[in-house]
């Protein structure tokens, strides 16, 4: 008998991928320019020129070393560059041995959850959340507990307090958030950390705070601060990815940073090494590890996303839709004009508009519009949005 869980996982696509595949089919039928595909978070801004220059430079180095295995946890130069960069930016005292190089945020999360969790553990997150969290947590033997948020999509700390119990192993946050674009405010993060500290003191059960950060650099407005969790909580682990910040989603590169201020640091880091080993996630792509060592701190031109956010938010508001204005990332979470967001998403297809119902993000009654598409497509899509809005007024 096969592993039924994995067979079933392989048979059912995520709602994002389902719609993305529909979009590909539809584009083949009526022409790509006639489909307004807002389904997936694939950056439309190219990787910055520093990436191309660094890649060219690397291609002139010894090819055997360039393409060879690195240490399981990653190339020392890359890990040292990342820890130095984080120390400068966030006043931490990390070193290369706090960093584990990964194939993007998905691998960072899978490895971290497998390092921390035993069967029966619970991982708390806040809706709306990235749907793959369910899969990652289940694979680590843990149950994902999703707490609903209010209309601002900031974590509800009172609900967190009630949800914590002796099985809670970790709290998983994602800010700037996919799909809401909201940045969790510093005062909320402070409260959240205080609640976790109190829980650990009272019960003796340490709870880890995992921060999933593919969108850390994608913040559009001055004065919006993305709190770096290691500055607030010792038992913290950052799961980073360069997929969005450097527009390199296909290259599969990111890292895990384990806070060396926690007492049991060496065991947690060993757990990360062990989980990486058990899952076969050793030695992330060598060429891109070496690239990261040369471009740490560089970000794609995010001004394009900011303009797209502003254009789309203004137009949608004018047509009568409501959404919380995103602080960052490149998603807009729009309230469905009918209770059933799946029906809304289906109706949108008639106007060749593709966006994902919020149900799989743990938030019914909303759809996610992924606006990391070309500004030209957004402009051409506006009449379709208007027609869709009007169809609800008739």
Instruction: List residues binding ligand PLP (CB under 6 A).
Output: 41, 104-106, 130, 174, 178, 212, 214, 241, 243, 249, 254
Partners of 60 in the beta sheet?
none
Provide the minimum distance between the beta carbon of 129 and ligand PLP in the complex, in angstroms, as a whole number.
Answer: 8
* Residue placing its CB nearer to ligand PLP in the complex, 181 or 271: 181
* Residue placing its CB nearer to ligand PLP in the complex, 20 or 233: 20
* Residue placing its CB nearer to ligand PLP in the complex, 154 or 174: 174
Sheet of 356-357, strand order:
331-335, 366-370, 356-357
Here the tokens at position 339 are 């209770």
Provide the minimum distance between the beta carbon of 107 and ligand PLP in the complex, in angstroms, as a whole number.
Answer: 7
Provide the minimum distance between the beta carbon of 106 and ligand PLP in the complex, in angstroms, as a whole number.
Answer: 3
φ, ψ dihedrals at 335, nearest 5° = -70, 130
DSSP-derived letter for residue 251 is G
Provide the minimum distance between the beta carbon of 119 and ligand PLP in the complex, in angstroms, as a whole number.
Answer: 24
* Residue placing its CB nearer to ligand PLP in the complex, 226 or 388: 226
Element (H, E) at 319: helix 303-319
Provide the minimum distance between the beta carbon of 376 and ligand PLP in the complex, in angstroms, as a whole number.
Answer: 23
The separation between CA 226 and the C-alpha centre of its own chain, rounded to angstroms, equals: 14
Provide the minimum distance between the beta carbon of 134 and ligand PLP in the complex, in angstroms, as a whole number.
Answer: 12
Residues 305-326, buried b or exposed e (16+ Cβ, 10 A)?
A: bbebbeebbebbeebebebbeb
Residue, CB closest to ligand PLP: 104
* Residue placing its CB nearer to ligand PLP in the complex, 75 or 251: 251
Residues 356-387, buried b or exposed e (16+ Cβ, 10 A)?
A: bbbbbbbbbebbbbbbbbeeebbeebbebbbe
* Residue placing its CB nearer to ligand PLP in the complex, 137 or 388: 137
Here the tokens at position 323 are 């959404």
Element (H, E) at 264: none
Listed residue (331, 336, 290, 354) closest to 131, CA to CA: 331
Provide the minimum distance between the beta carbon of 319 and ligand PLP in the complex, in angstroms, as a whole number.
Answer: 27
* Residue placing its CB nearer to ligand PLP in the complex, 92 or 106: 106
């Amino acid at each position: 008998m096969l592993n039924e869980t994995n067979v079933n996982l392989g048979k059912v696509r995520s709602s994002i991928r389902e719609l993305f595949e529909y979009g590909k089919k539809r584009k083949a039928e009526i022409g790509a320019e006639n489909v307004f595909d807002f389904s997936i978070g694939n950056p439309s801004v190219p990787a910055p020129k520093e990436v191309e220059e660094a890649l060219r430079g690397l291609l002139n180095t010894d090819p055997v070393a360039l393409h060879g295995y690195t240490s399981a946890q990653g190339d020392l130069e890359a890990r040292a560059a990342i820890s130095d960069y984080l120390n400068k930016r966030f006043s931490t005292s990390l070193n290369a041995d706090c960093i584990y190089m990964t194939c993007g945020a998905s691998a960072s999360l899978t490895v971290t959850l497998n390092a921390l969790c035993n069967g029966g553990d619970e991982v708390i997150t806040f809706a709306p959340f990235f749907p793959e969290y369910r899969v990652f947590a289940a694979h680590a033997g843990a149950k994902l507990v999703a707490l609903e948020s209010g209309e601002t999509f900031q974590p509800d700390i009172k609900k967190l307090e009630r949800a914590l119990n002796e099985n809670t192993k970790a709290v998983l946050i994602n800010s700037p958030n996919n799909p809401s674009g909201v940045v969790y405010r510093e005062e909320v993060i402070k409260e959240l950390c205080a609640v976790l500290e109190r829980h650990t003191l009272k019960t003796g059960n340490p709870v880890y705070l995992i921060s999933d950060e593919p969108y850390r650099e994608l913040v559009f407005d001055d004065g919006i601060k993305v709190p770096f969790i290691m500055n607030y909580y010792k038992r913290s682990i950052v799961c980073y990815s360069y997929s969005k910040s450097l527009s390199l989603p296909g290259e599969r590169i990111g890292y895990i940073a384990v806070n060396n201020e926690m007492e049991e640091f060496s065991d947690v880091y060993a757990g990360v090494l062990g989980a990486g080993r058990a899952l076969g996630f050793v030695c992330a792509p060598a060429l891109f590890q070496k690239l990261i060592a040369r471009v740490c701190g560089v970000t794609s031109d995010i001004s394009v996303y900011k303009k797209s956010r502003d254009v789309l938010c203004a137009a949608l508001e004018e047509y009568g839709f409501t959404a919380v204005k995103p602080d960052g990332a490149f998603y807009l979470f729009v309230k469905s004009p009918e209770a059933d967001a799946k029906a809304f998403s289906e109706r949108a297809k008639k106007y060749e508009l593709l966006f994902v119902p919020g149900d799989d993000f743990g938030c019914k009654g909303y759809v996610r519009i992924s606006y990391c598409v070309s500004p030209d497509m957004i402009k051409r899509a506006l009449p379709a949005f208007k027609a869709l809005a009007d169809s609800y007024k008739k």
